[in-house]
Amino acid sequence: MDSNQIQPRLGNTGFIIFLALLSAFVPLSTDLYLPALPEMTHFFAVPEIIMNLTLILFFIFYSIATLFWGPLSDRYGRRPILLVGLTIYLIASILCGLADSATQIIIFRILQACGGGVATTVATAVIKDVFVGRKQETTLAVVQSMVVISPAVAPVIGSLLLTFISWRGIFFAQALLGLTVVLGALIFKETHQPEHATVSLLRSFGRLGVLLKAPGFSALLMVFSTMSIISLGFISSSSYIFQNTFHLSSELFSLFFAFNAIGMLLGPLIYIPLSKYVDRFVIIYSCFLITIVSGILVLVFGVGGPILFAITEFPATLASSAIRPPGTYLVLKQQENDNGSASSLYSAGGTIMGSIGMVVVSLAEAYPVQAIALINVVIGAICWLGLWLSLKGFKRQIKV
């Protein structure tokens, strides 16, 4: 389907950029202020675990919020729900920049998460609304490849901002991002016409339970959500590993982080042409194996310094991002009508699992490099086994 016809005001390129910005909300809401975390910890005179709550609670409440925004967008349409959620995000970002205590910034980050939860959920649902088959999978890959540019760029921008302004300016920059996407939402043309407007709101939320009862959907949801433990565990611990463990400046940290983020960028870009010639399940299983090998390399060599850690962690970031397009496609393919609810569950599942990874590395703050290594090995093995068992046990229920 021609997206120029669907979005006459945005056009094809503008439509893809808009979807990418929506999907990038989570990494931009975290990575942009990662270089400022040590400074904020010192500014508020609190332990690292307290300041890490601004990350951990963000992802927890973000995952809860996605469970509401998806069904609401199915019932009321994508555009009005987008405008409500993005406005909340915009206001919360400004409040974060004005916070004068660790407690306040934690509360405002929770509010920011609640509003930002609308973005990824609706972006994924819109792609499912508009595209089908191979076009849907390649669009997911293109959007996600654009999305993962943000982890490479955001820490660099954050470090640059910190040379001119304090950490507060980081959150005002997020507010500017929120304003930009709100303006995009204003000219966005609705892609979903609700068919059950008379259905009660409670019944709309009940669709989440219906989807979870589908064996194929739940099995694949669990497998591909679990992979988020790897990516978010690394993201949340990276600033402390490079700046505290390896004693790098915030500027050098941003460069090392950008190197690993290149792996996140290349993953979907490599998947698109490779999937033309190689079965997607072969690619997925190979990515699980690469993640395991990367974890072993980090455990053996990664403690030797920032360069060795970045190099040995690179395969894991590449593999985990390459899995995202086929994983998202396979999960959404298990249902046909509840695009918003399915996107909610997928976003929530990944965020909840990612939060677990963040908690694990926070508790292992004395040995963060070893924690990242073990996460890569264990999660890679669990997901490999989980997918194999799912395809074997629910072969008739899973659409491929």
- Note the pLDDT of residue 149: 67
For residue 183, the model assigns a pLDDT of 92
Cα-based angle 217, 218, 222 (whole degrees, multiple of 5): 120
Residue 385, pLDDT score: 96
What pLDDT, on a 0 to 100 scale, did the predictor assign at position 5?
Answer: 62
Distance CA 22, CA 155 (A): 19
269-272 contact pairs (CB < 8 A, 24+)? 269/141, 269/145, 270/318, 270/322, 271/141, 271/322, 271/325, 271/326, 272/138, 272/141, 272/142, 272/145, 272/325
Looking at 24-167, list the stretches that DSSP marks H as alpha helix, in order from N- to C-terminal side: 25-31, 37-44, 48-76, 78-98, 102-130, 133-147, 149-162
**Residue 367, C-beta contacts closer than 8 angstroms, at least 6 positions apart:** none
Which residue has tokens 């899995």? 323
Please tell me the predicted confidence (pLDDT) of residue 177: 87
- Greatest CA separation for the chain: 62
Contacts of 241 (CB under 8 A, 6+ apart): 309, 368, 369, 372
The answer to whether 137 and 325 are in contact (CB under 8 A) is yes
> pLDDT under 70 in the chain at which residues?
1-5, 145-153, 155, 195-204, 400
Give backbone dihedrals phi and psi of 277, rounded to 5 degrees, phi first. Answer: -115, -20
pLDDT at 305: 92
State CA 187 to chain mean position distance.
25
pTM over 0.75: yes
Predicted confidence at residue 264, as pLDDT, reads: 81
Write down the pLDDT at residue 311: 95
User: Please, where are the H alpha helices in 131-248?
Assistant: 133-147, 149-162, 168-187, 201-212, 215-226, 228-240
